[in-house]
Amino acid sequence: MPLTVVLSQTPSKDPSRQKLQEDILAALLGEEGIELGVVPHLYDLTDDHTGTLYLRSVAGPLVLLAWIYPRPAFWTLFRLGVRGRWGTVLIGEENDEDPLADPAAPELIGPLPDRHLYCINLNEVDGAESVLAEIRRIGQEQSKEIISLRAPESTGSKPEPVRAVDGRVPRRWYPVIDYSRCTNCMECIDFCLFGVYGVDGQERILVEQPDNCRRGCPACSRVCPENAIMFPMHKTPAIAGAPGLDVGPLKIDLSKLFGGDDPLKLAIEERDRELVKAGRAPVGAQHLPKRSQRQRDELDDLIDQLEGMEL
């Protein structure tokens, strides 16, 4: 089974990004044993878009070249019905650990097909050669079980033509849920007042009406106690799903110590601003997540002690 490499096109008109894409495609066209595809920006794809249908048709291992962090890319594929196991990528300054490594993680996720999804963030690559080298490494890794990246020269096989899907899609803004972190606490559905979230037939949280989300508003990600909600196009790396960065309850408390803004306060302000834009009345501190109403624990005592110190 061949290795499928799909380029998710940048939504930016930046010439340097466009050139990197062209260089990558030119390099990959010289590789045998690769099926190469091009789709619009992954985050902007709808459930019924031809790019989504193409991605769903890929049965074997998939390498996704996208302009967002690997973790949100993986879970964006998941919500589009393109599922598999986490494929480790050794490119970029920081790399996410396997989000499915925790044995408890699959409870909300459900069964996954026995293939890997490798997500490469093109914002962090040095050039087309580094991408090509990583794809060759992945091909060698997969060849131990499934494929051979390079077909024997004696076969006379030729590179597959690029399968391109129309790149004209409207820009979108919606939350992406990391189900390896989500505990199904439902605090997001309680906090969001725009009908974005819902539940499926098994009472699991999901982004039911993504286009109800207010463009630019990341408020629900700030109140999620498990840092399970991402907005891949947000300018703040922690909210966009960067490796090793969280916006959860510990950060909310510690931010007060070092003069930072309280994420819960920011979330309330962001939500109220969007309510006013939509012609609705602000609600302030109403509909707060249960976490903000929890009883004091040892962490609160520690915070109080730190606040009393002369830092």
For residue 151, pLDDT beyond 50: no
Q: How far are the Cα atoms of 147, 175, 221 from residue 239, in angstroms, in the given order? A: 36, 10, 7
Task: Give whole-number Cα distances, 56 to 78, 84, 232, 240, in Å.
Answer: 10, 11, 21, 24
Comparing C-alpha atoms, which of 253, 256, 261, 268 is closest to residue 299?
253
The pLDDT value given to residue 167: 67
Q: Is the pLDDT of residue 140 over 60?
A: yes
Res. 100 pLDDT band, cuts 50 70 90: confident
> Options 3.40.1350, 3.10.50, 3.40.50, 3.30.1360; which CATH number does 3-164 get?
3.40.50
Quickly state the pLDDT bin for 188 (edges 50, 70, 90): very high
User: What proportion of the chain, given as a percentage, has pLDDT over 70?
Assistant: 79
Query: Where in the chain are the domains?
Result: 3-164, 176-308
What is d(CA 226, CA 223) in angstroms, rounded to the nearest whole number? 9
Q: Are 37 and 160 in contact (CB under 8 A)?
A: no
- Please report the pLDDT score of residue 291 as a whole number: 55
More confident residue, 187 or 308: 187
Cα gap 205→224, rounded to integer Å? 13
List of residues 6+ apart from 155 with CB closer than 8 A: none
Confidence of residue 298 (pLDDT cuts 50, 70, 90): low
Amino acid at site 13: K
The pLDDT of residue 222 is above 70? yes
Would you state the pLDDT for residue 159? 47
- Tokens representing residue 281 in the block: 């009345």
Name the nearest CA neighbour of 187 among 101, 100, 267, 281.
Answer: 267
Q: Count CA atoms closer than 13 A to 106's CA, side-chain side.
A: 10
Residue 31: the pLDDT is 84
- 3-state SS of the chain is CCEEEEEECCCCCCHHHHHHHHHHHHHHCCCCCEEEEEECCHHHCCCCCHHHHHHHHCCCCEEEEECCCHHHHHHHHHHCCCCCEEECCCCCCCCCCCCCCCCCCHHHHCCCCCCEEEEEEHHHCCCHHHHHHHHHHHHHHHHCCCCCCCCCHHHCCCCCCCEECCCCCCCCCCCEECCCCCCCCCHHHHHCCCCCEEECCCCCEEECCHHHCCCCCCHHHHHCCCCCEECCCCCCHHHHCCCCCCCCHHHHHHHHHCCCCCHHHHHHHHHHHHHHHCCCCCCCCCCCCHHHHCCCCHHHHHHHHHHHCCC
Q: What is the pLDDT of residues 192-220, one digit of tens each?
A: 999 999 999 889 999 999 999 999 999 99
What's the pLDDT score for residue 211?
A: 96
Rounded distance, CA 153 to CA 155, Å?
5
Please, is 306 exposed, middle or buried when counting C-beta atoms within 10 Å of its C-beta (0-12, 13-18, 19+)?
A: middle
Q: pLDDT band at residue 92, thresholds of 50, 70 and 90? A: confident
Residue predicted with more confidence, 129 or 257:
129
Q: 82 falls in which pLDDT band (50, 70, 90)?
A: very high
Spatial separation of the C-alpha atoms in residues 96 and 118, rounded to whole Å? 11
Q: For position 285, what pLDDT does the model report? A: 83
Question: What pLDDT is recorded for position 36?
Answer: 93
Q: What is the mean pLDDT of residues 91-120?
A: 81
* Banded pLDDT at 105 (limits 50, 70, 90): low
The pTM score is 0.82
